[in-house]
Structure 1
C-alpha cells in the first residue's frame, strides 16, 4: 500500500470489479507498522464518471472506488443526523457491515486481510444498521487525589466497539457516541492502579462518569532478552513504553535487559535501528515478568531483507612487485591573462 493509504488516520479503499473480485491494479497491504490495508473495498472497474470536456466515460481505479465509500457515508449521515462527523462510529459501522472475503495471500484474517480489508462495501446494510443503531454519548472525568488528571488513558470496549483516548487538560475525555449497551470501561495512568468497571450506555442523553486513579500501583521486576533473526543477542536495543515518558530499557552485551515497572497493561516498543525492524509487544504486568523479543530483519518494497553471513578469509596469493611503471610528470603552471 502506498501514500496516503498507509497513513494510520486514513480510511483506505481498494477496488473490485463487477463480480466483486479484487482488481489487479488495487494495491495490497500491509501498511505502515503492519497495519491491515485496505480498510474496505468498493466498485472501481468500469465506473461511469465525468471526464475532461464536460463529458462522461468509463474509468478504472481506486479513485473510482473511494467515492463509493464517501457516498455511502453521506447516505448514512443523511439518514442519521446524530452520526454526522462521528468518524469513530462511522468506521465501526463500515467495518461491521462490509461483506467478508477470505483471501490470505498477503496476510491477515478471513474477516480482515491485506487484499479486501474488512470486505466489500454494502451501502444498503450500512444505512440500515446506522438507522437502527441506538446511540448514546460517553464522557469520562479522571481525578488524582481530588484534582483533575490529564493524560489518563480511557478505553471503552464491547463485542463490537473499542474506543481509546486520553483525558485533556481539564481531566475530561469525550468518547463520542456508541451503540447503546453494556461496556467495560478501563482507566489507567502511569504508576497508578488501573480501574475497570462495567457501565451501561443508554440512548437518553450522555453517560457521565468520574474515575479516581489515586491508588498507587505495585511495582514488579521485568527482564528479558532481545535477539536477531539468527538468535544472536542484540546489543543496545531500546525497549520503551508507548505513550509514556518512562526511561527506556537498554540491552547489554548479552542482549539482556532488567528493570521495574508498575502493574498495568503496556505496549512495549522494541527498537534497534540499522537492519532490524521495530516491534511492538503487548505487555501485562501483574507480577514479575520475563519478556523475550525476537526482532525480524527489515524488508524493502520488493521483499529483500538484510541479514548476517559467515565470511571466510580468502588468500589473495603472492605479492608481486610493480614493474614497467612510468613516473608521472608534475603539475603544470598555468597563467591567466
Structure 2
C-alpha cells in the first residue's frame, strides 16, 4: 500500500501546491476523504464503526482528497466575555470530529482567530469541528461548528464561564460497588478529555 499512498500524495501536491511538504495536513486530507470500510468482526458490537482496527479510516480516494483540498474554507472566529471584552491571547483549537486533529491558533487583540490563505497554519478544510477555548474558564469552553466546502464563515462567540452548559458531563459522579467477592470483569468508564 505504501507506493499507492506515496503516489497519491504526489498527485495531491501536484493538484494543490499549497500542501507541498505539509505532511500533517496532507495526511488529514487523505484520512478525511477516505471511503469508510466497516468492520463488525473485531469484537465490535452495535453499529459498524469507522475508523476501526481492521481498515482504519477506509479506502484511499485520491479524487475525493483533491476535491476536499481544493475547496479550502475561510473562517474568522471572535471571542469575548460576557461584558463584550475581547479575549486576547487565548488558545483556540478546532478539533476535527473525524480524525481528532487539532488546528490551533492564539487570539489577537480583537479576540479573533482566522484560518484563511496559503500560509502554514492557516489552511482549513470542510468538516465538523469542536471548538475549544482554553485558559479562560476553569474547564475549556467548548462548542461545535460545521464548515461546508469552500465556505466563508465569520462568527462571534461569547464565553460564559458561569453558564457551565459547555462543560461536557458537568457534575457527573457515581460509585461502583459489589456486595460480595470481587468484580467479575474489567470495566471501562469514558470521561471527557477535559476531566481531571
TM-score for the superposition, normalised by structure 1 = 0.36
Aligned to 1:213: 159
The answer to which structure has the higher helix fraction is 2
Structure 1 residues 214 and 94: CA distance shift in structure 2, 3 A: closer
Aligned to 1:225: 175
Give the greater-gyration-radius structure (CA). Answer: 1
* TM superposition shift of 1:74: 1.6
* TM superposition shift of 1:136: 1.7
Aligned to 2:86: 146
1:132 to 62, 67, 77: 67
Structure 1 residues 279 and 92: CA distance shift in structure 2, 3 A: farther
2:17 counterpart of 1:81: yes
* TM superposition shift of 1:191: 4.2
CA contact (8 A) 1:154 1:188 kept: no
Distance 2:173 2:36 in 1: 44
**What number of residue pairs does the alignment pair up?**
169
Distance 2:144 2:58 in 1: 33
Distance 2:42 2:51 in 1: 12
* TM superposition shift of 1:78: 0.8
Which structure 1 residue ranges, 5 or more long, are not aligned?
1-41, 43-64, 233-275, 286-337
CA contact (8 A) 1:154 1:186 kept: yes
Aligned to 1:68: 4
| Superposition RMSD in Å | 4.7
Aligned to 2:37: 100
Structure 1 residues 221 and 146: CA distance shift in structure 2, 3 A: same
Distance 1:156 1:118 in 2: 14
* TM superposition shift of 1:178: 1.0
Distance 1:153 1:99 in 2: 26
* TM superposition shift of 1:150: 1.1
Distance 1:231 1:217 in 2: 38
The answer to which structure has the higher strand fraction is 1
Aligned to 1:292: none
CA contact (8 A) 1:187 1:194 kept: yes
Report matched runs for 1:254-273 at 5 Å: none
Q: Deviations over 1:238-282 (max 9, x none)?
A: xxxxxxxxxxxxxxxxxxxxxxxxxxxxxxxxxxxxxx9986423
* TM superposition shift of 1:117: 1.7
Which structure 2 residue ranges, 5 or more long, are not aligned?
116-121
CA contact (8 A) 1:80 1:131 kept: yes
Structure 1 residues 103 and 75: CA distance shift in structure 2, 3 A: farther
2:162 counterpart of 1:282: no
Q: Pick 1 or 2: higher relative contact order, CA cutoff 8 A, min separation 6.
A: 2
* TM superposition shift of 1:148: 0.9
Q: Deviations over 1:81-105 (max 9, x none)?
A: 2444273464243453346263633
2:125 to 178, 186, 190: 178
